[in-house]
Amino acid sequence: MAEEEVSNKHVILKNYVSGFPKESDMEVKTTALKLKLPDGGDYSGAILVKNLYFTCNCSAKDRVTIGFPDLFFFRRHPIGDLLWGLTRWEEYSVIADPETRFKIHNNLPPLFNCSALLTGMPGMTAYAGFFEICSPKKGERVFISAASGAVGQLVGQFAKAFGCYVVGSAGTKEKVDLLKNKFGFDEAFNYKEEQDLNAALKRYFPDGIDIYFENVGGKMLDAVLLNMRVHGRIAVCGLISQYNLEQHEGIHNLFCLITKRIKMEGFLVFDYYHLYPKFLDMVLPQIKEGKIAYVEDIAEGLENAPSALIGLFSGRNIGKQVVVVARE
C-alpha cells in the first residue's frame, strides 16, 4: 500500500535576528511529507501529529535559530487523540520526546474556547509563578505588569479568587478596561500615561506591594523595587521591555532586595510540568463554574504566523496570540 503524502507548510528562519525581529526574517515554505514515522534511531517512542493551533510567545524570539519551537495543540495521526506540547511551526510534526507532549482529556471544556488557558504555558506559568514561587497569603497586595497578556490576565484572576488585592498595568485604555471590567482586577493603569512610575505605584499601593509578577523589566522593575514591602516576593516571568534592545537597561534599585529582604526568582514553566494535574484540579472547577475569563487574539493560517509573532513586541495583540493552523 502506498504511503500517503501531504504538503507540509512550515516557517523557517531566513536571517539571524538582531534587535527587533521583522517578518522578512522569516519565510513560509511548503515541502512534501510522507505520513510515516522515521525508522530506528531515537524515534522508537515517536508519534506523528497534525498541528491544529499554536501560540506565540515573546520568548520565541530567542529560540528562532532552532525552528520556532512553541506550544501547539495537535491531533495524533492517525489515531485521533488530542494533545498539547512543543514542536515546530509546521502543519505536520514528528514528536520524539514523550516528555514534551500531554494528552488533552475528554473532561476538558471545548478545545478552543479556553485551550490556551487549560493546556500548557499560560495557565501553568501563571499557576507556578504565583502559587509556587510567590506563596501568596489572603489579603496580600499583588501587582502584575503586562497584565492583559496571556499569563498576566490569569495571574490576576487567580490572585483575586485567592483573596488578594490586585492591580495591573497595560499599554492601552482598551486593555486597562479589560483588566477592570472583564478580568476583575481591583485597579489598573496605562503605564504609558504615567510620567512617574514610582508615584503611580504609590498611588495604587500606599502600603506597598507584597507580590510582583514581573513581565516587563527595565524602568517598571526599578519602580516596583522601591515600593515592595518587607519580605515581598517577585516572580520573574518575562522582560518584554528588554528582549529587543542591543544593550539592556540597568536596574538601579537592587539594594532594596537586601534592605527589604525581598525574594526575587526567575523561572521557566518547563520545571513545573509535574504539577500539571494539581493545576487542573484547581482550575477546572473554576472554568466549569464560569469564574475564569480568557481573551485570545486569533490569526488564521500558518502564513500569518510571522506577522502574529512580530505583533507581540508592539503590544498589538490583546490576550494570548494564537495561530490557527487547522480547525480539525
Neighbours of 33 (CB within 10 A): 19
* Confidence (pTM): 0.79
Strand-pairing partners, residue 323, are 54, 299
Structural domains of the chain, with CATH: 5-114+294-324 (3.90.180.10), 122-270 (3.40.50.720)
Percentage above 90 pLDDT, the chain: 42
Three cell numbers written together for 166: 490586585
Cell 502600603 -> residue: 207
pLDDT at 66: 32
**Residue that the C-alpha cell 516571568 belongs to:** 237
CB 134 within 8 A of CB 213: yes
Check residue 19 and report its DSSP letter. S
- Are 94 and 274 spatial neighbours (Cβ–Cβ below 8 Å)? no
Give every CB contact of residue 241 below 8 A, 6+ residues apart in sequence. 216, 217, 218, 219, 220, 249
Q: What is the residue whose three cell numbers read 510567590?
A: 134
Amino acid 116: pLDDT = 45
Cα–Cα distance, 174 to 132 (Å, whole number): 31
* pLDDT tens-digit map of 246-274: 788 889 999 999 999 999 999 998 899 88
Q: What is the pLDDT of residue 161?
A: 95
Closest residue by Cα to residue 57 from 286, 275, 308: 308
| pLDDT single digits (tens) 20-50 | 778 888 889 999 888 877 776 666 778 888 8
pLDDT tier at 70 (50, 70, 90 boundaries)? Answer: very low
Q: How many CB atoms lie within 10 A of CB 84?
A: 25
Instruction: Check whether the bond before 78 is cis (ω within 30° of 0).
Output: yes
> Which of 211-220, 269-278, 284-293 holds the top average pLDDT?
211-220
Cβ–Cβ contacts within 10 Å for residue 190, how many?
A: 15
How long, in residues, is the chain?
328
Per-residue burial over 88-106, b if 16 or more Cβ lie within 10 Å, else e, is bbbbbbebbeeeebeebee
Task: Please give the average per-residue pLDDT across 154-176, as a whole number.
Answer: 96
Task: Please state, in angstroms and as integers, the Cα–Cα distance from residue 101 to each residue in 139, 150, 325, following that order.
Answer: 37, 20, 18
